């Protein structure tokens, strides 16, 4: 089989590109380095209607990096018969970064669409590198050194604002994690660490801290920093989890929407 060239089309000015090549080239890892480079440059890389099998998605994922064993394939669906943690997935409707309760988050996630809802269910991505870069220099200096306490509980309260004590106790099994507001990456780039798990700014008046986190979330999710993916069955989308936030747009809970997610392990701690 003759390999096809890798073609690229940028989808917005600041985030996301769409790639096209043949399946054999993708699964062989021929373009793995180029894809990783584009992922770090553009935040989101999309392929249209690849229709990968489970095995092919895992094979492709492993060409890009190490796959955490316990997260080889995760079904993202609201159907509790297919995903016993469906209640927690409701938090995906709010802006977040995966792995903020860990010291080292995953580098990237890869998601393929298997079934779609008749309406809604798009996924939005926000470039937190670009959002930081465009801040006024004076504000960048003010944000340097600030730390934010992230809590699983904070994210779950978006979905269930009045939990029972039993629910709250379960949430609080996840210990808080204090992270820098500005992530200084090994590459020299900087990004904002925000999202629904961000509970409060350490050492700051609560109201002022909440106002800051809300204002920065609004800033980072302006249209100029955001790409919205309109899913087709068989699409494959990869996002750099260390430099983007993401969220799903609302859809009917009984729609049967089903996505398969794999992940690439991270090797860079929040710093």
Q: Could you tell me the CATH number of the domain that includes residue 182?
A: 3.60.130.10
What distance in Å separates the CA atoms of residue 68 and residue 245, rounded to the nearest whole number? 21
Q: Would you say residue 271 lies in a domain?
A: no
Q: Among residues 240, 101, 109, which one has the least CA distance to residue 179? A: 101
Q: Is the dihedral of CA 170, 71, 121, 148 positive or negative?
A: positive
What distance in Å separates the CA atoms of residue 180 and residue 171, rounded to the nearest whole number? 22
What distance in Å separates the CA atoms of residue 20 and residue 61, rounded to the nearest whole number? 17
Q: Would you say residue 216 lies in a domain?
A: yes
Q: Among residues 133, 153, 263, 242, which one has the least CA distance to residue 194? A: 242
Q: Would you say residue 119 lies in a domain?
A: yes
pLDDT of residue 155: 95
Q: Would you say residue 1 lies in a domain?
A: no
Q: Which domain holds residue 92?
A: 7-264
Q: Would you say residue 269 lies in a domain?
A: no
Indicate the pTM of the whole model: 0.94
Tokens of 153: 């509980």
pLDDT of residue 70: 62
Tokens of 32: 């793995």
pLDDT of residue 68: 75
What is the DSSP annotation of 12-44? SSSS-EEEE--HHHHHHTTTHHHHHHHHHHHSE
Contact 179/103 with Cβ under 8 angstroms? Answer: no
What secondary structure letter does DSSP report for 249? P
Q: Would you say residue 270 lies in a domain?
A: no
- pLDDT at residue 1 tops 60: no
Q: Among residues 23, 30, 26, which one has the least CA distance to residue 60? A: 26
- pLDDT at residue 3 tops 70: no
What does the pLDDT average to over 135-157? Answer: 96
Contact 184/203 with Cβ under 8 angstroms? Answer: no
The pLDDT tens digits for 229-254 are 999 999 999 999 999 999 999 999 88
Number of structural domains found in the chain? 1
Tokens of 108: 């990237």
Q: Would you say residue 2 lies in a domain?
A: no
The pLDDT tens digits for 55-109 are 999 999 999 998 776 668 889 998 888 877 777 778 899 999 999 999 999 999 9
Tokens of 210: 């909440």
The pLDDT tens digits for 21-48 are 999 999 999 999 999 999 999 999 999 9
Burial class (CB in 10 A: 0-12, 13-18, 19+), 267: exposed
Contact 195/10 with Cβ under 8 angstroms? Answer: no
The pLDDT tens digits for 168-222 are 999 999 999 999 999 999 999 999 999 999 999 999 999 999 999 999 999 999 9
């Amino acid at each position: 089989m003759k390999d096809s060239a890798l073609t690229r089309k940028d989808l917005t000015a600041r985030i996301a590109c769409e790639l096209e090549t043949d399946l054999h080239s993708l699964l062989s890892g021929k373009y793995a380095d180029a894809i990783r480079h584009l992922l770090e440059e553009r935040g989101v890389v999309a392929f249209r209607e690849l229709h990968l099998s489970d095995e092919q998605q895992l094979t492709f994922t492993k060409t890009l990096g190490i796959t955490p064993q316990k997260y080889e394939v995760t079904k993202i669906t609201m159907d509790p018969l297919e995903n016993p943690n469906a209640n927690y997935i409701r938090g995906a409707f709010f802006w977040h970064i995966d792995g903020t309760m860990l010291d080292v988050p995953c580098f990237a996630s890869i998601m393929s669409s298997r079934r779609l809802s008749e309406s809604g269910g798009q996924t939005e991505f926000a470039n937190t590198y670009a959002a930081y870069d465009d801040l006024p220099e004076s504000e960048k200096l003010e944000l340097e050194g600030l730390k934010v306490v992230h809590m699983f509980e904070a994210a779950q309260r978006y979905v269930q604002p009045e939990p029972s004590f039993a629910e709250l106790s379960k949430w609080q099994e996840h210990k808080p994690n204090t992270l820098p507001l500005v992530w200084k990456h090994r590459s020299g780039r900087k990004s904002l660490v925000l999202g629904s798990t961000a509970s409060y700014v350490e050492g700051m008046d609560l109201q002022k801290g909440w106002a800051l986190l809300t204002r920065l979330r609004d800033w980072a999710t302006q249209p100029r920093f955001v790409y919205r993916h309109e899913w087709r069955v068989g699409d494959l989308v990869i996002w750099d989890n260390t430099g983007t936030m993401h969220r799903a747009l609302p859809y009917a809970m009984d729609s049967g929407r089903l996505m398969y997610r794999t992940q690439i392990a991270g090797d860079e701690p929040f710093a």
